[in-house]
Amino acid sequence: MKRTCSPILALSALLMGTSALAQTDEQRSTLADQTQVAVTIYNENLALVKDQRKLQLKTGPLALAFRDVSARMRPETALLRSVSAPGSLYVQEQNFDFDLLTPQKLLEKYVGRSVQLVRTNPATGAETTEQAQVLAASNGIVLQVGQRIETGTPNARIVYSDVPPNLRDRPTLVMSLDNTGSAQQDVELSYLTGGLAWKADYVVELNAADDKLDISGWVTLTNTSGATYRNTKLQLVAGDVNQVTPAMQNIARAQVMSAPAPAMAKREMAEESLFEYHLYTLQRPTTIAENQTKQVALLAAAAVPARKELLLKGADYYYRSSFGDLGQKMKVGVFIEFDNKESARLGQPLPKGIIRVYKKDLAGNAQFVGEDRIDHTPKNEKVRLKLGEAFDVTADKKQSDFKKLGSADRYNSQFESAFELVLKNAKKEPVTVTVQEPIPGDWKMLSETHPSTKATSNTAVWQIKVPAEGTTTLAYRTLVRY
């Protein structure tokens, strides 16, 4: 038995020894060498990182440990080049070490190797040391101490002789280089990575008459890549970029509940076309910290003309058979739409995302009234949002008549159907309800109490006015041929 040094001194000696060994075997580059970094983030959890650093490199072969890179780097995409001396660096081999130093990982690396067990006498405080061999470390620890086998170390701590070279405290790309240029060089490492994602969130506030809206767009960034990007030039690509490699696993993203924002938030993202996509560039440097969600203003517009629609959609199954009652107190959908045009005070490419809509109550407080998701929307397109179902506007619908008419053969059938739709409005003001009926086959409107339009080859549309606290009945008869 012998007395050993304290745990703190033992750990310090271990780290100093490991550091000295690393310095002799490889040259390290950390964030202290970084001069600038640019990050371009795509929609599908993919980002392009360009990390520039100023390094002192010895001439000839060397091992460069490029630390503080993304833990979710795709190493096959990594490219190192010299910015100040193009063509002077030749990469012969590279290894991506993302197995990070933890007590459990260190223990696993020592399976089959010897460690020191240090035990402390609780009465005297005296320490004793024994040598042990690690037999297993997957589900708990199994040790061979002399001629006995022990599991667990409740009254002992483990002292390791060194840290394995492929176990690092930060994700590191280790490259075997041949430097034919000068000692001091500006180099750039570029690579694709997962763990960086962005999405657009929009906040809309309707006016009292529901005919104008203010809209603010925000970019929500999420960084779970295992690295921090300080003072980065940030760019975002909106569009569906094809990837040949298998899709990476989706990360668990923080759910951000947006509150009403100022209608005219300052726009900090400059937009331009890039190939068949749109590129947004933040006009100032920003830091994207590890495990952080950040929001940046994207766009803003005020008093955009809007249209509200109450829509009741039917189905096509009841035009070929007898069904009778088709529904009581049927829900009427509520939609808001607006034009993404300069003439409508907007006219900007809108990246896909969620639009949350608010409206002020009588006390002037903004209340949430619904949300919908939009796809990438270019200029001059219409944006249509379903916000929910109307509370005070309902419908009762029935099939009032049905006849199967004679046909020349078994494959040529004709059906005559009549329908009655009662629209009810409990509001204190009149409303207009759009009734949309998909009618199958070769059809003809035989009669109707309100005029319809043929919106498409299989759709009839009515605009029905319903008085305040009143009802309106729509009746129509169709002939359908198959």
Structural domain boundaries of the chain?
7-100+167-193, 103-159, 306-340+382-481
Give the per-residue pLDDT at 411: 62
pLDDT in tens, 325-335: 999 999 999 99
pLDDT in tens, 453-472: 999 999 999 999 999 999 99
Between CA 365 and CA 360 the distance in angstroms is 5
Mean of per-residue pLDDT scores for the chain: 87
Looking at residue 329, its amino acid is K
> Phi and psi at residue 236, in whole multiples of 5°?
-125, 135
Paired residues of 91 in beta bridges: 177
The DSSP letter of residue 68 is S
Name the residue among 263, 261, 345 with its Cα closest to residue 304: 345
Question: For residue 304, what is the enclosing H or E element?
Answer: strand 292-313
Give the per-residue pLDDT at 410: 63
Buried b (16+ CB within 10 A) or exposed e, 90-112: eeeebebbbeeeeeeebbbbbee
Q: Are 197 and 107 in contact (CB under 8 A)?
A: no
Beta strand spans in 211-344 (E): 212-223, 229-238, 269-274, 277-282, 286-288, 292-313, 325-339
Q: How many residues in the chain?
A: 482
**CATH number, domain 306-340+382-481, options 3.30.1560, 2.60.40, 2.60.120, 1.20.58:** 2.60.40
Domain 7-100+167-193 indexed as CATH 2.30.29: no
Does the structure show a pLDDT above 70 at 4? no
**What is the DSSP code string of 35-50?**
EEEEEEEETTTEEEEE
The DSSP letter of residue 266 is P
Give the per-residue pLDDT at 9: 35
Averaged pLDDT for residues 69-81:
94
The DSSP letter of residue 378 is -
Q: Could you check whether 7-100+167-193 and 306-340+382-481 share the same CATH topology?
A: yes
Give the per-residue pLDDT at 104: 83
Between CA 364 and CA 463 the distance in angstroms is 33
Paired residues of 129 in beta bridges: 118
Q: 462 Cβ partners below 8 Å, 6+ apart?
A: 434, 435, 448, 450, 451, 452, 453, 474
- Confidence bin at 5 (pLDDT 50/70/90): very low
Give the per-residue pLDDT at 2: 40
Name the residue among 162, 203, 435, 121 with its Cα closest to residue 309: 435
- Confidence bin at 253 (pLDDT 50/70/90): very low
pLDDT in tens, 128-166: 898 999 999 888 899 999 889 988 877 788 998 887 877
Residue whose pair of structure tokens reads 């980065």 in the numeric block: 232
Give the per-residue pLDDT at 247: 46
Between CA 84 and CA 92 the distance in angstroms is 20
Does the structure show a pLDDT above 80 at 17? no
